[in-house]
Amino acid sequence: MLPWFTESSADRFNDVRDTSLAKLVRDDMLALILKGVLAPGQRINEPDVASRLQVSRVPVREALRELESSGLVVSRKHSGVFVRQLDAAEIRDLYQMRGLLDGFAGRCAAGLPTEKREALLALLTASVEAMREAAGQHDVQRYYAENLRFHWAIVEAAGNRQLSETYRGIVQKLHLSRLKNLSQNVGVQASIAEHVEIVQALRDADAARCEALMARHVSDAYLRLVDSERPPTQ
């Protein structure tokens, strides 16, 4: 399970022991946001959440405050709490930051000891094949999840906790902007080719090339996103 995808189930609340109730509520709402059940711009109804999960509104409010501090929801006076909609400038800035982090992670991964690097390569090679299969079946949701898994494996391999935490936050926010584009299947074959190049650079232990390819891959993904949203010329 990727760190930004959590299971959403009211049944989890029946077996709570040491976990904060507010944290469980937060994870439940986070899962609904990241799966698109709660869409960008949609109002989150506190009483409905409390009723569905059979909790009081206190942990719901605490969970919403935490989601707001993460930049995933926004509170509007006299209106309520809404899933955030990112503007163009914020999406651009987040992609720029993600490019820097992906590049750094790629450089670190290419410098791993042979045994660890080979284990990572086996995982990434399987991931690329899964992306190819998903693309062939026009399963964009599965392709996107596998794409995230590919990058997360490299980030984790870097062994930098702060990098992982920062990366997780950026990906969660960007997911808000990616949801509406999943059905467009934009640039999938180009993206797969870029992943293959990254795998080869890791196999060659070429840290500089891997860093450059990772950063360019994110930059190209952003450009494809922008192009997909540009209105067709008359």
Asked if pLDDT for residue 4 goes beyond 60, the answer is: no
Domains identified in the chain and CATH numbers: 10-83 (1.10.10.10), 88-229 (1.20.120.530)
* pLDDT for res 227: 81
pLDDT, mean over the chain: 87
Over the Cα atoms of the chain, what is R_g?
19
Three-state helix/strand/coil letters over 122-156: HHHHHHHHHHHHHHHCCCHHHHHHHHHHHHHHHHH
The neighbouring-strand residues paired with 43 are: 82
Residue-wise burial string across 151-170, b where 16 or more C-beta atoms lie within 10 A, e elsewhere: bbbbbbbbebeebbebbbbb
CA distance 187 to 227: 10
Q: Over 90: is that where the pLDDT of 34 sits?
A: no
- Max alpha carbon distance in the chain (Å)? 61
- The pTM of the full predicted model, rounded to 2 decimals, is 0.81
- Asked whether the predicted pLDDT for residue 232 surpasses 70, the reply is no
Answer yes or no: is pLDDT of 2 > 60: no
Q: What is the pLDDT of residues 134-171, one digit of tens each?
A: 999 988 878 888 999 999 999 999 999 999 999 999 99
Give CA–CA dist 65/58, Å, rounded. Answer: 11
**pLDDT tens string 130-140:** 999 999 998 88
pLDDT tens-digit series, residues 92-117: 999 999 999 999 999 999 999 999 99
CB 131 within 8 A of CB 147: yes
Instruction: Tell me the pLDDT band of 1, cut-offs 50, 70 and 90.
Output: very low
Tell me what pLDDT residue 18 has.
43
pLDDT score of 234 more than 50? no
